[in-house]
Chain A
Amino acid sequence: MGGWIREHPILTYQHGRKVKFYVDGKEYEGYEGEPIAAALHANGIRVYRKSMVLERPRGFFCAVGKCSSCFMVVNGTPNVRVCITPLKEGMRIETQVGKGEIR
């Protein structure tokens, strides 16, 4: 599921530098400066958080930072909109459960 598109009849993709990042402790690779959500999706990760009350799985939805579906904990900060936050080398990303905690 997911993965990077390597061949396309119209488009050629200009990716940035490849960087390592971590999701719940596991190492992955993505492109620097692209939204975290793109890298997650390319790595087959679709569940980003569990909702506050019913703990339902939540993921990507609007891709424009408006819907609040894609909140994750990024470098310890909860409620980060991963669809519009650029990926950086070494980022530590965690599945968010509930409201998130300030540490």
Chain B
Amino acid sequence: MLVKTADVVVIGGGIQGCAVAYNLAKMGCKDVVLLEKDTIASGSTGRCAAGIRAQWGTEMNCRLGIASIEIFENLSEELGADIGLHQGGYLMIAYKESEFEQLKKNVKLQNSLGIKSKVISAQEAKEICPLLNTEGAVGFTFHQRDGHADPLLTTFAYAEAASRLGVKIYDFTEVIGIDLEGDRIKGVRTNRGYISTRVVVNCAGPYAKRIGEFVGVDLPIYPERHEILVTEPIERVSHPMLMSFSGNFYIQQRPHGSFIMGYGPKEHEKTHAVNSTWMFLEEMARKFVKLLPALKELRVVRQWAGSYEMSPDAQPILGEVDEVEGFYVSAGFSGHGFMFGPITGKLMAELILTGETSIPIQMLNYRRFERHELIREPAVV
């Protein structure tokens, strides 16, 4: 049976929803409900490649990235469950001079914010990843504290820790409407009953736009299909995430031993579809073999797809929605929701409970789109 009332209703059981709910409870908010239409981490989170990085090209993303890494580094201990963290670093590879110039600019920005990333030579790149074929590359940057965590373990750990603190989590519970009283949240309608509440947090990822529509707010978030494949596991031969924007790929060996990899679609289709294509399988295999030729015998064991929840400037939409009192958004992460989850979950809880945040996030408010204050993140695959 669903509860009848709650102080806060969090919509969405991915990393955002679970981290927001956990942080709310941790800060003392005792009456939190989380609603998930399927199962925990069944959407974008559970399908993501789970990279974690601070090597960004905008100040905001750099700040969020490094703050999140700091939380990840102690998260297993905090939540009382292994999250599968491996900090093998991100090795960024530029194939064009202009791209390398941008990477160098990014490193300068990152260093100014305390992120110890660095420009490295091909020789150093080979020392970090001996199997790497550096042919055609013009430059590299590296940051050791970047890495990987298991998205399912991490999200489950958040959900379980939240439950222990009293958060009520309902799976297979879909929000079908939100009632307002004037311009204030009154309650949430679900397929399993009604919950009266004054506060709703929209963490619905690629479905965030639909949740916004329930209160008459047009959130510019749309889903985009991104594909991934994974190989059989082998003993560790490579530590860093290999990433290139012009090469359009990311490739990393997971702690489990398998390699996980993907690239951005050429045509950006706005779709919730998450089916796989053979074109991706073939193209990805080509990119992989070119980059790590010694591993050409590795077998592909599985491929799948998930939704990036895109925003127009590839930065998240965070904060309150001023025309509807009690309606908050934490969505539009554009492929980086998992890595930002620990910090944005904390910031959203701070904002909801105190009205202030330890990192200023006003510029990520959804009003930025009508004010045309877009800062496009340059470092996106």
Main secondary structure of the interface of B (DSSP, over half): loop
Stretch at the interface among B171-179, B280-288, B291-299, B333-341: B291-299
Which chain A residue shows the least CB distance to B257? A99
Which chain A residue shows the least CB distance to B237? A102
| B residues near A98, Cβ cutoff 8 Å | 235
Interface contact B232-A79, CB-CB below 8 Å? yes
A100 to B232 Cα, complex, angstroms: 10
CB distance from B368 to the nearest CB of A (A): 47
Interface contact A102-B234, CB-CB below 8 Å? yes
Q: Is A78's beta carbon under 8 Å from chain B?
A: yes
Which chain B residue shows the least CB distance to A101? B235
Tally of A interface residues using CB under 8 Å: 9
CB distance from A50 to the nearest CB of B (A): 13
Q: Is B166's beta carbon under 8 Å from chain A?
A: no
CB distance from A101 to the nearest CB of B (A): 5
| B residues near A78, Cβ cutoff 8 Å | 234
A44 to B233 Cα, complex, angstroms: 29
CB distance from B164 to the nearest CB of A (A): 27
Q: Is A77's beta carbon under 8 Å from chain B?
A: yes
Interface contact B297-A102, CB-CB below 8 Å? yes
Q: Is A62's beta carbon under 8 Å from chain B?
A: no
A99 to B232 Cα, complex, angstroms: 9
A100 to B236 Cα, complex, angstroms: 10
| A residues near B233, Cβ cutoff 8 Å | 52, 99-100
CB distance from B145 to the nearest CB of A (A): 26
| A residues near B295, Cβ cutoff 8 Å | 102
| A residues near B299, Cβ cutoff 8 Å | 79
Interface contact A77-B234, CB-CB below 8 Å? no
| B residues near A99, Cβ cutoff 8 Å | 233-235, 257
A77 to B297 Cα, complex, angstroms: 8
Which chain A residue shows the least CB distance to B298? A102
User: Which residues of A, 58-103, contact B by the 8 Å Cβ criterion?
Assistant: 77-79, 98-102
Which chain A residue shows the least CB distance to B131? A102
User: Which residues of A, 26-67, contact B by the 8 Å Cβ criterion?
Assistant: 52
Q: Which residues of B contact A (CB under 8 A)?
A: 232-235, 237, 257, 294-295, 297-299
**10 A-B interface contacts by CB (under 8 A):** A52-B233, A52-B257, A77-B297, A79-B299, A100-B232, A100-B233, A100-B235, A101-B237, A102-B237, A102-B297
